[in-house]
């Protein structure tokens, strides 16, 4: 979730950019955003998505949230320079 790296409830991304990141059409992003808004999970205005119910979004992911985040943490974990062998 982008919020994990931004540490903010607001994400400044357009529907067009979400579509580019997800490899889908902008219309599909607009449909999803509208659905999440109707369910009270997010609010949105031009170029800004605000997370209202983080737990609800995680639940909506159907168990898929956390897998990419764990891999990201594993790959980019802080390097222990004292233990590193050069």
Instruction: Evaluate if pTM is beyond 0.75.
Output: no
Q: What is the pLDDT along the chain (86 residues), one digit of tens a residue?
A: 566 666 788 989 899 998 998 899 999 999 999 999 999 999 999 889 999 999 999 899 888 888 887 888 888 877 666 665 65
Alpha helices in 1-86 (DSSP H): 2-6, 15-22, 26-38, 54-60, 67-75
| 42, 52 contact by CB (below 8 A) | yes
CATH classification code of 2-75: 1.10.10.10
How far apart CA 27 and CA 32 sit, in angstroms, is 9
Q: What are the extents of the domains in the chain?
A: 2-75
């Amino acid at each position: 979730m982008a919020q994990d790296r931004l540490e903010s409830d607001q994400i400044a991304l357009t529907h067009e950019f979400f579509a580019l990141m997800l490899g889908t059409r902008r219309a599909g992003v607009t449909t999803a955003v509208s659905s999440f808004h109707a369910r009270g999970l997010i609010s949105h205005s031009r170029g800004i998505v605000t997370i209202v119910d983080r737990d609800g979004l995680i639940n909506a992911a159907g168990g898929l949230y956390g897998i990419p985040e764990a891999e990201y943490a594993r790959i980019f974990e802080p390097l222990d320079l004292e233990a590193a062998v050069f």
